[in-house]
Structure 1
Amino acid sequence: MQAVRAAARPVAGIRRAAAGAARTYATPVPYSEFPPSKDPQLAGYPEVPYVSKQRRSPFGWDDPQMRRNFGEPPHEQEEILSMWGPDAPVVDPSRALRNFILAVGTFTGIGFLCYAIQPEMPAVRREYPFDGLQKELGGLEENKARAESLEDEE
């Protein structure tokens, strides 16, 4: 008798549904609420707007994780438009491209500016005698160092 009474008691933490509450999770949305399809390949399936579920409000859905009501017909491309699809961009793509071009232009402009205002070298480069030490470096044209100029000495 004790086991029967224990089973009849409500479990703590579980709320009981109100007596007048209607269960809607098994009730489909009638197709008459959606306009008929103009696409012949959909064969009468309702034409649902192409809007990502990530753009929907997170409140007021039967399934808040997927942001949809039970019985609502999914879009024909539901795998792209669902909450698990690719993220919907927060910034408009044209604005993002404009910002990217602005950033690249700014960095390039600063680089050219730094190159343009670079001062001349404060020292004279070293020069070597005997045709730039060509014989001492092995005689190859590739090893030839800067030749000594005779015009500066006069």
Structure 2
Amino acid sequence: MFSSVAGRVAGAASRPLAARSKTLLIASSARTRTYSAQPSDEVDPQLNGYPQLPFESRQYLPAKGWQDELMRRNYGDTLHEKDELLSMWGPDIPPIEPSTALFRFTLAALGFVTAGLVIKASVPEMPAVRREYPFSGLVTELGGLEENKARTEELTEAEE
């Protein structure tokens, strides 16, 4: 098993960088997502001769067959200029499209709202009349509104 993995790794490492990049670009062209900040094919003047690699997340690559399987790269490979976004430690790629996720979330929210409305409509009214107290709800019997307010704290001369 080790010899077959070593052979694949040695074969991948022996290919020139342009051939590996082209293979990655061809293999990933069918599943590339479009984002608002998708890089263009123009040469970036800020790279100053640094190779312009395809904008492909390492999470799309196969898990086996690399010298560094944790990062899914071979030793000596040129890093992408945005490696912190495209590495295995970058943001996770959503397993479903955002529009599909929004649609499913909306369906779930509507389901909860519908269930609440159905439950509220199916609960019967109270079979009893709510209790009513005479004299404005016992305000007079309890001493009035002014007497039932919370007492404010006042400092006495001894506490000052």
TM-score, L = length of structure 2 = 0.61
Q: In structure 1, the residue corresponding to 2:96 is in which secondary structure?
A: coil
- Flag the 1:37–1:79 CA change in 2: closer, same or farther, 3 A: same
| Unmatched segments (≥5 aa) in structure 1 | 1-14, 144-154
CA RMSD of aligned residues (A): 3.1
Distance 1:44 1:37 in 2: 13
Distance 1:32 1:119 in 2: 73
Structure 1 position 94 matched with structure 2 position 102: no
Larger helix proportion of the pair: 2
Distance 2:92 2:118 in 1: 39
Among candidates 26, 30, 51, match of residue 46 of structure 1: 51
Distance 1:76 1:28 in 2: 22
Q: In structure 1, the residue corresponding to 2:119 is in which secondary structure?
A: helix
2:126 alignment counterpart: 121
- Flag the 1:109–1:95 CA change in 2: closer, same or farther, 3 A: same
| Unmatched segments (≥5 aa) in structure 2 | 23-40, 149-160
Distance 1:40 1:29 in 2: 27
Task: Report which structure shows greater RCO (CA 8 Å, sep ≥6).
Answer: 2
The size of the alignment, in residue pairs, is 122
Deviations 1:63-119 (A, max 9, x none): 222111233221111012111222222222221122112111211121122222221
1:123 aligned partner, one-letter code: A
Q: Residues 24 and 70 of structure 1 are in contact (CA less than 8 Å); yes or no, is this contact kept in structure 2?
A: no
Q: Residues 48 and 75 of structure 1 are in contact (CA less than 8 Å); yes or no, is this contact kept in structure 2?
A: yes
TM-score, L = length of structure 1 = 0.63
Q: In the TM superposition, what are the counterparts of 1:52-63 in structure 2 within 5 Å?
A: 52-63=57-68
Identity %: 50
Distance 1:93 1:103 in 2: 15
Task: Mark the structure with the bigger radius of gyration.
Answer: 1
- Flag the 1:37–1:61 CA change in 2: closer, same or farther, 3 A: farther
Distance 1:29 1:70 in 2: 13
